[in-house]
Amino acid sequence: MKAKGRLNAICPYFTMFPLEFPLGVLRDATPGQLVVDPFCGRGTTNYAARTLGLPSIGVDSSPVAVALSQAKLANTSPRYIVAAARRILDEVTEPDDVPEGEFWRWAFHPEVLRVLCRLREGLLANCRSDSRKALRAILLGALHGPRPKARPSYFSNQSQRTYAPKPRYAVGYWKRYGLLPEPVDVLSIVRERAVRYYSDERPASGKVIHGDSRKNIFARVARGKRAHWIITSPPYYGLRTYLPDQWLRNWFLGGPPEVEYSNECQLLHSSPEDFASDLRLVWQNVGKISAPGARLVVRFGGINDRKADPLSIIKMSLEGSGFELQTIKPAGSASSGRRQALHFSRPSGEAREEHDIWAVYVG
C-alpha cells in the first residue's frame, strides 16, 4: 500500500528516516499486530502503522518529538482543528508571558508573537483532545522556516525549517540582509495546513508517550498487548544536539525562551560500551512486551567525528537483550528508503554509512 505521506510531513525534523523504511519492513505484517518504536522521533514509524491500519506505541525523551508523534495518531478533521484554535484565541485574549529581547523582536512580528503566545498558553493549559494535539503540531511545523515568494506559510523571519536558528547568528544574519519579520495571518496558515494534513487520513490506533525507554514503561502502555514489530532508529553515538536544535519548538511546549543544552534522559555517550549498555536496557524493556519471534529492525549509523564502529555498538547492545541478530543490510535499498544521513547530515559532520539491523526475539 502506497502512503500519500502528507501527515508525515506536518513538521520537518532534523533527524528522521524516510517513510519507505518502516513501510517496507511492515509489508509482511498482519492485521492487529502491534508496532513499537522506543525512539519514535517525529513519529514516522507510528505514521507508517497508521497508514497500514496497525496499532502502534511510540516513546521518546524529547517533548518536541512526542508532540509531533502524537499528532500522527490524532483522529480529527480540519474543521475541528481550526475551531480549536479559534476557541483558544477567544479564551486567551492577552497572553501572560511574551518573551522579550533582541532575538524575539527580529524573529517574529510583534502581533504574530502575541497570537502565538496566546495559542501556546491555551495549549499548555489543555492539550488533551486530538484536535488540540494536531493544532499543536501544525503550529510547531510553521513556527520557523523560509519566507516564500508567494503567500506566507511560516510565522518567523527567514529561518531553517528543520532546526531552530541560534539567536546570535540569526540576529546577525537578519540585520546584515535587512530582513524584518512580516505580519502574517496565523489562523490562515493553520487552516491551510490543517486541510493539507488532515483531510484524508484513515483512523489511527495507538499511543505516544514522553518517557525514557531505558526504564520499564512499556507494559503500562501496551496493556497486555504483545509487540510483533519494533522498528526504530536510536540516536547515533556522539549526536547529542536534539534539544538545542529544537529549542524554539521546545519553548512553545513550555520550555525556556533560550537555547537549552541539557542531555537529561538521553543515552550515555561517554563510551561505546556505555552507549551499548543503555541500548541493551531498551531492547530488554521492549522484549518484556514482545511476542515470541517479534522482529526488531534498527536503522543505525555513525558520525564522522566519532571513531566507534556503529555495527559493533549494535551487536554489543544485542548481547543478553533477548533479541538475536539475524541479518544486516545497507540502508537505502529499494525496500528501506533513502539513507537517513541524506536528511540530516551537515557539511561539518556528515553521517557515515548506515545499516538496517534485523533481529528476532527469542526471550
pLDDT in tens, the chain (363 residues): 344 679 999 998 766 689 999 999 999 999 999 999 999 999 999 999 999 999 999 999 999 999 999 999 999 999 999 999 999 999 999 999 999 999 999 999 999 999 999 999 999 999 999 999 999 999 999 999 998 878 899 999 999 999 999 999 999 999 999 999 999 999 999 999 999 999 988 899 999 999 999 999 999 999 999 999 999 999 888 766 667 889 999 999 999 999 977 666 677 778 999 999 999 999 999 999 999 999 999 999 987 555 789 999 999 999 999 999 999 999 875 444 444 444 434 434 455 679 999 999 999
Q: Are residues 46 and 113 in the same domain?
A: no
**How many folded domains does the chain comprise?**
2
Q: How far is the C-alpha of 212 from the C-alpha of 88, rounded, in Å? A: 31
Looking at 183, 198, 213, which one is the last position of a domain? 198
Q: Is 293 left (phi over 0), alpha (psi -120 to 50) or beta?
A: left
Residue 166: inside a domain, yes or no? yes
Tell me the C-alpha distance between 84 and 43, whole Å: 23
Cell of 277: 549498555
Tell whether 240 and 117 lie within a shared domain: no
Is residue 239 in a domain? yes
Q: What crossing angle do the helices spanning 110-125 and 78-91 adopt, rounded to 10°? A: 100
Residues 6 or more apart whose Cβ sits within 8 Å of residue 171: 102, 103, 106
Same domain, 217 and 237: yes
| Alpha helices for the chain (secondary structure H) | 20-25, 44-51, 63-72, 78-91, 102-107, 110-125, 130-142, 167-176, 186-198, 218-222, 242-245, 247-252, 272-287, 310-318, 341-344
Q: Do residues 278 and 340 both lie within one domain?
A: yes
Beta bridge partners of 360: 295, 324
Residue 235: how many CB atoms within 10 A of its CB?
20
What is the rounded CA–CA span in Å between residue 131 and residue 107? 27
C-alpha cell at 178: 535587512
Residue 265 domain-assigned?
yes
- Domain span including residue 241: 7-73+205-361
Q: Do 244 and 181 share a structural domain?
A: no
What pLDDT sits at residue 14? 66
Q: Is the domain of 189 the same as that of 137?
A: yes
- pLDDT score of 17: 85
Q: Does 131 share its domain with 160?
A: yes
The model carries a pTM of 0.91
Both 241 and 334 in one domain: the answer is yes
Residue 308: what pLDDT? 82
Same domain? 27 vs 165: no
In a domain, 156, yes or no: yes
Q: Is residue 319 part of a domain?
A: yes
CA distance to 68, 80, 122, 160, 182, per residue, from 86 (Å): 21, 10, 11, 28, 22
Closest CA to 44 of 232, 321, 176, 280: 232
Asked if residue 78 belongs to a domain, the reply is: no
In a domain, 51, yes or no: yes
* pLDDT at res. 263: 60
* Residue 118 sits in the same domain as residue 51: no
Of 136, 163, 198, the residue at which a domain comes to its end is: 198
- In the listed set 168, 198, 228, which residue is the last one of a domain according to the structure? 198
Residues 58 and 156 occupy one common structural domain: no
Q: For residue 1, tell me if it sits in a domain.
A: no
Q: Do residues 220 and 338 share a domain?
A: yes
C-alpha grid cell, residue 227: 509487540
CATH number of the domain at 278, please: 3.40.50.150
